[in-house]
Amino acid sequence: MPELITLDDIDDLAVGSAFLGTGGGGDPYVGSLLCKEAVAAFGPVQLISLDELPDDSSVFIVGAIGAPTVLTEKLFSVDEAHCAVEALETLLNRKATAIISAEIGGLNSVMPVAYAAMRGLPLIDADGMGRAFPSINMTTFNVYGVSCTPMAIGDEHGNVALFKTADAKTAEDLARPLVAAMGASASLSCYPMTGEQAKHSALPSTVSAAIAIGAAIRSGDRAIPAVDRLVQTLASLPYYSHAYRLFDGKIVDISRDTSRGWVFGKCIIQSLDGPSVAEIGFQNENIAVRVDGVLKAIVPDLVCIVDRETAQPIPTEKLRYGQRVAVIGCSASDLLRTPESLACMGPAAFGEIAEYVEIERLNQVEA
Protein backbone atom coordinates (compact mmCIF):
# COMPACT_ATOMS: atom_id res chain seq x y z
CA MET A 1 0.00 0.00 0.00
CA PRO A 2 1.39 3.44 -0.89
CA GLU A 3 1.74 5.69 2.15
CA LEU A 4 0.87 8.77 0.12
CA ILE A 5 -1.37 9.40 -2.87
CA THR A 6 0.65 11.68 -5.12
CA LEU A 7 0.05 13.14 -8.55
CA ASP A 8 1.71 10.03 -10.00
CA ASP A 9 -1.01 7.79 -8.50
CA ILE A 10 -4.11 9.65 -9.60
CA ASP A 11 -4.38 8.37 -13.18
CA ASP A 12 -3.97 4.79 -11.95
CA LEU A 13 -6.59 5.35 -9.26
CA ALA A 14 -9.00 6.86 -11.80
CA VAL A 15 -8.62 3.99 -14.28
CA GLY A 16 -8.75 1.30 -11.60
CA SER A 17 -11.82 2.80 -9.96
CA ALA A 18 -13.50 3.11 -13.36
CA PHE A 19 -13.08 -0.65 -13.71
CA LEU A 20 -14.39 -1.28 -10.19
CA GLY A 21 -17.28 1.07 -10.98
CA THR A 22 -18.68 -1.74 -13.19
CA GLY A 23 -19.96 0.84 -15.65
CA GLY A 24 -21.35 3.29 -13.09
CA GLY A 25 -20.25 5.60 -10.33
CA GLY A 26 -19.67 8.49 -12.73
CA ASP A 27 -16.72 8.88 -15.06
CA PRO A 28 -13.68 9.33 -12.77
CA TYR A 29 -11.75 11.25 -15.47
CA VAL A 30 -13.52 14.46 -14.48
CA GLY A 31 -12.84 13.69 -10.84
CA SER A 32 -9.19 12.98 -11.61
CA LEU A 33 -8.77 16.51 -12.96
CA LEU A 34 -10.27 17.90 -9.77
CA CYS A 35 -8.03 15.56 -7.80
CA LYS A 36 -4.85 16.61 -9.60
CA GLU A 37 -5.67 20.26 -9.04
CA ALA A 38 -6.24 19.69 -5.32
CA VAL A 39 -3.11 17.58 -4.80
CA ALA A 40 -1.02 20.09 -6.74
CA ALA A 41 -2.37 22.91 -4.57
CA PHE A 42 -2.42 21.23 -1.15
CA GLY A 43 0.07 18.35 -1.41
CA PRO A 44 -0.14 14.53 -1.34
CA VAL A 45 -2.79 12.72 0.67
CA GLN A 46 -1.82 10.35 3.45
CA LEU A 47 -3.32 6.88 2.86
CA ILE A 48 -3.84 4.92 6.07
CA SER A 49 -5.05 1.40 6.70
CA LEU A 50 -8.01 0.55 8.90
CA ASP A 51 -5.55 -0.92 11.40
CA GLU A 52 -3.82 2.46 11.72
CA LEU A 53 -7.10 4.28 12.38
CA PRO A 54 -7.67 5.23 16.06
CA ASP A 55 -10.96 3.88 17.43
CA ASP A 56 -12.10 7.36 18.44
CA SER A 57 -11.51 8.87 14.99
CA SER A 58 -14.32 10.90 13.44
CA VAL A 59 -14.73 9.40 9.97
CA PHE A 60 -16.72 11.23 7.30
CA ILE A 61 -17.76 10.28 3.78
CA VAL A 62 -17.65 12.71 0.90
CA GLY A 63 -19.11 11.76 -2.45
CA ALA A 64 -21.48 12.38 -5.32
CA ILE A 65 -25.01 11.12 -5.78
CA GLY A 66 -26.91 11.15 -9.06
CA ALA A 67 -27.14 9.81 -12.60
CA PRO A 68 -23.78 9.07 -14.30
CA THR A 69 -24.92 10.62 -17.58
CA VAL A 70 -25.39 13.92 -15.75
CA LEU A 71 -22.14 13.64 -13.79
CA THR A 72 -20.15 13.95 -17.03
CA GLU A 73 -21.55 17.44 -17.66
CA LYS A 74 -22.46 18.88 -14.25
CA LEU A 75 -19.02 19.30 -12.72
CA PHE A 76 -18.26 19.14 -9.00
CA SER A 77 -15.92 21.15 -6.84
CA VAL A 78 -14.42 20.51 -3.42
CA ASP A 79 -16.19 23.65 -2.20
CA GLU A 80 -19.56 22.11 -3.10
CA ALA A 81 -18.58 18.89 -1.34
CA HIS A 82 -17.47 20.87 1.70
CA CYS A 83 -20.95 22.40 2.03
CA ALA A 84 -22.35 18.92 2.70
CA VAL A 85 -19.55 17.82 5.03
CA GLU A 86 -19.52 21.07 6.95
CA ALA A 87 -23.29 20.93 7.49
CA LEU A 88 -22.94 17.44 8.94
CA GLU A 89 -19.99 18.46 11.12
CA THR A 90 -22.01 21.39 12.49
CA LEU A 91 -25.02 19.19 13.24
CA LEU A 92 -22.90 16.57 15.01
CA ASN A 93 -20.65 19.14 16.70
CA ARG A 94 -17.48 17.35 15.69
CA LYS A 95 -14.88 17.77 12.97
CA ALA A 96 -13.76 15.08 10.56
CA THR A 97 -10.40 13.54 11.40
CA ALA A 98 -10.34 11.07 8.49
CA ILE A 99 -12.11 10.64 5.14
CA ILE A 100 -13.41 7.39 3.66
CA SER A 101 -14.97 6.57 0.30
CA ALA A 102 -18.53 5.26 0.18
CA GLU A 103 -17.61 3.31 -2.96
CA ILE A 104 -14.34 2.62 -4.71
CA GLY A 105 -16.02 2.69 -8.13
CA GLY A 106 -16.02 5.70 -10.42
CA LEU A 107 -16.09 9.34 -9.42
CA ASN A 108 -16.64 8.57 -5.73
CA SER A 109 -13.18 7.08 -5.44
CA VAL A 110 -11.30 10.19 -6.61
CA MET A 111 -13.49 12.94 -5.11
CA PRO A 112 -12.52 11.95 -1.54
CA VAL A 113 -8.84 12.26 -2.46
CA ALA A 114 -9.37 15.84 -3.64
CA TYR A 115 -11.38 16.67 -0.54
CA ALA A 116 -8.87 15.05 1.83
CA ALA A 117 -6.10 17.06 0.17
CA MET A 118 -8.02 20.30 0.63
CA ARG A 119 -8.74 19.56 4.30
CA GLY A 120 -5.27 18.12 5.03
CA LEU A 121 -6.88 14.91 6.33
CA PRO A 122 -5.84 11.27 5.86
CA LEU A 123 -7.80 9.02 3.50
CA ILE A 124 -8.61 5.51 4.72
CA ASP A 125 -7.63 2.64 2.41
CA ALA A 126 -11.15 1.18 2.50
CA ASP A 127 -14.70 1.75 1.33
CA GLY A 128 -18.23 0.41 1.80
CA MET A 129 -18.72 -1.57 -1.42
CA GLY A 130 -15.48 -2.77 -3.02
CA ARG A 131 -17.14 -1.67 -6.28
CA ALA A 132 -19.99 0.75 -7.13
CA PHE A 133 -23.71 0.44 -6.44
CA PRO A 134 -26.54 2.81 -7.43
CA SER A 135 -28.15 3.33 -4.00
CA ILE A 136 -26.77 4.77 -0.78
CA ASN A 137 -28.27 1.95 1.28
CA MET A 138 -26.22 -0.65 -0.67
CA THR A 139 -23.13 -0.49 1.53
CA THR A 140 -21.43 -2.69 4.08
CA PHE A 141 -21.69 0.29 6.44
CA ASN A 142 -25.46 -0.14 6.37
CA VAL A 143 -25.40 -3.95 6.50
CA TYR A 144 -22.99 -4.06 9.44
CA GLY A 145 -24.51 -1.53 11.76
CA VAL A 146 -23.56 2.06 10.86
CA SER A 147 -26.48 4.50 10.53
CA CYS A 148 -26.74 6.23 7.16
CA THR A 149 -28.10 9.37 8.77
CA PRO A 150 -27.78 12.10 9.74
CA MET A 151 -26.99 12.79 6.08
CA ALA A 152 -26.30 16.03 4.22
CA ILE A 153 -26.89 16.71 0.53
CA GLY A 154 -25.71 19.92 -1.11
CA ASP A 155 -25.69 21.42 -4.60
CA GLU A 156 -23.58 23.92 -6.52
CA HIS A 157 -25.81 26.82 -5.40
CA GLY A 158 -25.07 26.30 -1.73
CA ASN A 159 -28.39 24.62 -0.95
CA VAL A 160 -28.04 21.93 1.73
CA ALA A 161 -30.62 19.49 3.05
CA LEU A 162 -30.21 17.40 6.20
CA PHE A 163 -31.94 14.05 6.69
CA LYS A 164 -32.60 11.92 9.74
CA THR A 165 -34.38 8.65 8.93
CA ALA A 166 -35.16 5.32 10.58
CA ASP A 167 -33.12 3.32 8.06
CA ALA A 168 -30.85 3.68 5.02
CA LYS A 169 -33.48 2.60 2.50
CA THR A 170 -35.78 5.41 3.64
CA ALA A 171 -32.85 7.84 3.34
CA GLU A 172 -32.32 6.65 -0.25
CA ASP A 173 -36.03 6.97 -1.09
CA LEU A 174 -36.24 10.51 0.31
CA ALA A 175 -32.92 11.68 -1.14
CA ARG A 176 -33.45 10.54 -4.74
CA PRO A 177 -36.30 13.00 -5.59
CA LEU A 178 -34.32 15.82 -3.97
CA VAL A 179 -31.27 14.98 -6.07
CA ALA A 180 -33.46 15.02 -9.18
CA ALA A 181 -34.67 18.49 -8.18
CA MET A 182 -31.04 19.59 -7.73
CA GLY A 183 -30.30 18.75 -11.36
CA ALA A 184 -29.88 14.95 -11.03
CA SER A 185 -26.54 15.20 -9.23
CA ALA A 186 -25.37 16.58 -5.89
CA SER A 187 -22.72 16.27 -3.20
CA LEU A 188 -23.27 13.95 -0.27
CA SER A 189 -21.97 13.17 3.19
CA CYS A 190 -23.51 10.29 5.12
CA TYR A 191 -22.67 7.34 7.40
CA PRO A 192 -20.70 9.45 9.91
CA MET A 193 -18.83 6.93 12.04
CA THR A 194 -16.05 6.32 14.50
CA GLY A 195 -12.82 4.56 13.69
CA GLU A 196 -14.05 1.54 15.62
CA GLN A 197 -17.21 1.38 13.50
CA ALA A 198 -15.18 1.71 10.29
CA LYS A 199 -13.01 -1.25 11.29
CA HIS A 200 -16.10 -3.45 11.75
CA SER A 201 -17.98 -2.39 8.61
CA ALA A 202 -15.60 -1.25 5.87
CA LEU A 203 -13.83 -3.30 3.18
CA PRO A 204 -10.08 -2.82 3.65
CA SER A 205 -7.40 -2.14 1.03
CA THR A 206 -9.71 -1.15 -1.80
CA VAL A 207 -8.05 2.16 -2.66
CA SER A 208 -4.69 0.46 -3.07
CA ALA A 209 -6.40 -2.31 -5.07
CA ALA A 210 -7.85 0.29 -7.46
CA ILE A 211 -4.40 1.82 -7.92
CA ALA A 212 -2.94 -1.63 -8.69
CA ILE A 213 -5.68 -2.37 -11.23
CA GLY A 214 -5.18 0.98 -12.92
CA ALA A 215 -1.43 0.46 -13.07
CA ALA A 216 -1.91 -2.95 -14.70
CA ILE A 217 -4.16 -1.44 -17.36
CA ARG A 218 -2.05 1.64 -18.01
CA SER A 219 1.57 0.57 -17.70
CA GLY A 220 1.94 -3.14 -17.12
CA ASP A 221 3.95 -5.73 -19.05
CA ARG A 222 3.36 -4.85 -22.70
CA ALA A 223 4.37 -8.36 -23.74
CA ILE A 224 1.04 -9.57 -22.33
CA PRO A 225 -2.23 -8.47 -24.02
CA ALA A 226 -3.90 -5.77 -21.96
CA VAL A 227 -7.08 -7.72 -21.10
CA ASP A 228 -5.07 -10.79 -20.08
CA ARG A 229 -2.83 -8.55 -17.95
CA LEU A 230 -5.90 -7.12 -16.25
CA VAL A 231 -7.35 -10.57 -15.47
CA GLN A 232 -3.99 -11.71 -14.06
CA THR A 233 -3.83 -8.68 -11.77
CA LEU A 234 -7.39 -9.23 -10.55
CA ALA A 235 -6.52 -12.84 -9.78
CA SER A 236 -3.72 -11.63 -7.49
CA LEU A 237 -5.99 -9.39 -5.39
CA PRO A 238 -7.89 -10.67 -2.32
CA TYR A 239 -11.49 -9.83 -3.27
CA TYR A 240 -11.37 -10.06 -7.03
CA SER A 241 -9.35 -13.25 -7.43
CA HIS A 242 -12.03 -15.24 -9.29
CA ALA A 243 -11.62 -13.30 -12.53
CA TYR A 244 -12.77 -14.31 -16.01
CA ARG A 245 -12.82 -13.02 -19.55
CA LEU A 246 -16.48 -13.82 -20.17
CA PHE A 247 -17.04 -12.54 -23.71
CA ASP A 248 -15.51 -10.68 -26.65
CA GLY A 249 -17.47 -8.93 -29.36
CA LYS A 250 -18.94 -5.79 -30.90
CA ILE A 251 -21.72 -3.71 -29.39
CA VAL A 252 -24.73 -3.98 -31.69
CA ASP A 253 -27.41 -2.35 -29.54
CA ILE A 254 -27.48 0.00 -26.57
CA SER A 255 -30.47 1.57 -24.81
CA ARG A 256 -30.60 4.01 -21.89
CA ASP A 257 -33.34 5.69 -19.87
CA THR A 258 -32.40 8.34 -17.32
CA SER A 259 -35.28 8.43 -14.84
CA ARG A 260 -35.89 8.43 -11.10
CA GLY A 261 -32.30 9.60 -10.58
CA TRP A 262 -30.68 6.58 -12.24
CA VAL A 263 -29.67 5.38 -15.69
CA PHE A 264 -31.42 2.15 -16.69
CA GLY A 265 -30.46 0.28 -19.83
CA LYS A 266 -29.26 -2.74 -21.74
CA CYS A 267 -26.23 -3.48 -23.89
CA ILE A 268 -26.17 -6.23 -26.56
CA ILE A 269 -22.79 -7.55 -27.74
CA GLN A 270 -22.38 -9.79 -30.80
CA SER A 271 -19.45 -12.20 -31.01
CA LEU A 272 -16.85 -11.31 -33.66
CA ASP A 273 -16.42 -14.89 -34.83
CA GLY A 274 -19.78 -16.60 -34.36
CA PRO A 275 -23.47 -16.19 -33.58
CA SER A 276 -23.14 -15.89 -29.79
CA VAL A 277 -24.66 -12.86 -28.10
CA ALA A 278 -24.06 -11.36 -24.66
CA GLU A 279 -26.70 -9.22 -22.93
CA ILE A 280 -25.84 -6.91 -20.04
CA GLY A 281 -28.46 -5.00 -18.08
CA PHE A 282 -27.55 -2.00 -15.96
CA GLN A 283 -28.92 0.42 -13.37
CA ASN A 284 -26.07 2.93 -13.29
CA GLU A 285 -23.83 -0.15 -12.80
CA ASN A 286 -23.83 -3.40 -14.79
CA ILE A 287 -26.11 -5.87 -13.01
CA ALA A 288 -25.75 -9.19 -14.84
CA VAL A 289 -24.35 -10.71 -18.02
CA ARG A 290 -25.94 -13.58 -19.95
CA VAL A 291 -24.29 -15.29 -22.91
CA ASP A 292 -26.82 -16.92 -25.25
CA GLY A 293 -29.30 -16.70 -22.40
CA VAL A 294 -27.03 -18.41 -19.87
CA LEU A 295 -26.14 -16.45 -16.74
CA LYS A 296 -22.37 -15.88 -16.42
CA ALA A 297 -22.17 -13.30 -13.61
CA ILE A 298 -24.59 -11.33 -11.43
CA VAL A 299 -24.45 -8.77 -8.61
CA PRO A 300 -22.83 -8.39 -6.19
CA ASP A 301 -20.03 -9.94 -8.30
CA LEU A 302 -18.55 -7.46 -10.76
CA VAL A 303 -19.42 -7.22 -14.47
CA CYS A 304 -17.21 -4.82 -16.40
CA ILE A 305 -17.04 -3.82 -20.07
CA VAL A 306 -13.56 -2.85 -21.31
CA ASP A 307 -11.97 -1.94 -24.61
CA ARG A 308 -10.88 -5.16 -26.27
CA GLU A 309 -7.41 -3.84 -27.18
CA THR A 310 -6.47 -1.54 -24.31
CA ALA A 311 -8.57 -2.95 -21.41
CA GLN A 312 -9.67 0.60 -20.60
CA PRO A 313 -13.00 0.39 -18.73
CA ILE A 314 -16.02 1.87 -20.50
CA PRO A 315 -18.72 3.53 -18.33
CA THR A 316 -22.32 2.86 -19.33
CA GLU A 317 -22.77 6.45 -20.53
CA LYS A 318 -19.90 5.99 -23.02
CA LEU A 319 -21.00 2.69 -24.56
CA ARG A 320 -21.50 3.12 -28.30
CA TYR A 321 -22.65 1.01 -31.25
CA GLY A 322 -19.73 -0.68 -32.97
CA GLN A 323 -17.27 -0.64 -30.05
CA ARG A 324 -15.18 -3.79 -29.85
CA VAL A 325 -15.16 -4.83 -26.22
CA ALA A 326 -14.39 -7.58 -23.74
CA VAL A 327 -16.60 -8.42 -20.80
CA ILE A 328 -14.70 -9.12 -17.59
CA GLY A 329 -16.31 -10.66 -14.53
CA CYS A 330 -14.77 -11.08 -11.11
CA SER A 331 -15.75 -11.98 -7.58
CA ALA A 332 -16.88 -9.57 -4.90
CA SER A 333 -15.76 -9.58 -1.28
CA ASP A 334 -17.17 -12.31 0.92
CA LEU A 335 -18.75 -9.53 3.00
CA LEU A 336 -21.01 -8.80 0.03
CA ARG A 337 -21.99 -12.46 -0.30
CA THR A 338 -23.53 -12.94 3.13
CA PRO A 339 -27.32 -13.36 3.41
CA GLU A 340 -27.52 -9.94 5.07
CA SER A 341 -25.66 -8.24 2.21
CA LEU A 342 -27.51 -10.12 -0.51
CA ALA A 343 -30.83 -8.99 0.96
CA CYS A 344 -29.66 -5.40 0.47
CA MET A 345 -27.58 -5.53 -2.73
CA GLY A 346 -28.21 -8.91 -4.32
CA PRO A 347 -30.09 -9.61 -7.57
CA ALA A 348 -33.59 -9.13 -6.10
CA ALA A 349 -32.73 -5.54 -5.16
CA PHE A 350 -32.45 -4.81 -8.90
CA GLY A 351 -35.58 -6.68 -9.95
CA GLU A 352 -33.60 -9.70 -11.17
CA ILE A 353 -35.48 -12.99 -11.21
CA ALA A 354 -32.27 -15.03 -11.07
CA GLU A 355 -30.88 -15.90 -7.66
CA TYR A 356 -27.29 -15.12 -6.78
CA VAL A 357 -24.73 -17.74 -7.77
CA GLU A 358 -21.03 -17.09 -7.25
CA ILE A 359 -19.15 -16.29 -10.45
CA GLU A 360 -16.67 -19.12 -9.83
CA ARG A 361 -19.55 -21.61 -9.79
CA LEU A 362 -21.14 -20.16 -12.92
CA ASN A 363 -17.84 -20.43 -14.78
CA GLN A 364 -16.31 -23.54 -13.22
CA VAL A 365 -16.07 -25.30 -16.61
CA GLU A 366 -13.93 -22.50 -17.99
CA ALA A 367 -11.89 -22.05 -14.80
Give the pLDDT of residue 1. 58
Which overall architecture, per CATH, does domain 4-204 show?
Answer: 3-Layer(aba) Sandwich (3.40)
Strands (E), the chain: 4-5, 45-48, 58-61, 63-66, 98-100, 123-124, 126-127, 151-154, 160-163, 185-189, 193-194, 203-204, 243-259, 262-270, 277-283, 285-291, 294-298, 302-307, 324-330
Which residues share a beta bridge with 254? 267
Which overall architecture, per CATH, does domain 238-362 show?
Answer: Beta Barrel (2.40)
Which residues share a beta bridge with 325? 249, 307
Give the pLDDT of residue 170. 97
Give the pLDDT of residue 250. 98
Give the pLDDT of residue 70. 64
Domain ranges of the chain: 4-204, 238-362
Mean pLDDT by 10 residues, the chain (367 residues): 88 95 79 90 97 97 79 73 96 98 90 96 98 93 97 93 96 92 90 98 97 89 87 95 97 84 85 95 92 97 96 91 98 96 95 94 75
CB 190 within 8 A of CB 147: no
Residue 184 CB coordination number (10 Å): 22
DSSP 332: P
Give the pLDDT of residue 366. 47
Rounded Cα gap, residues 285 and 283, in angstroms: 5
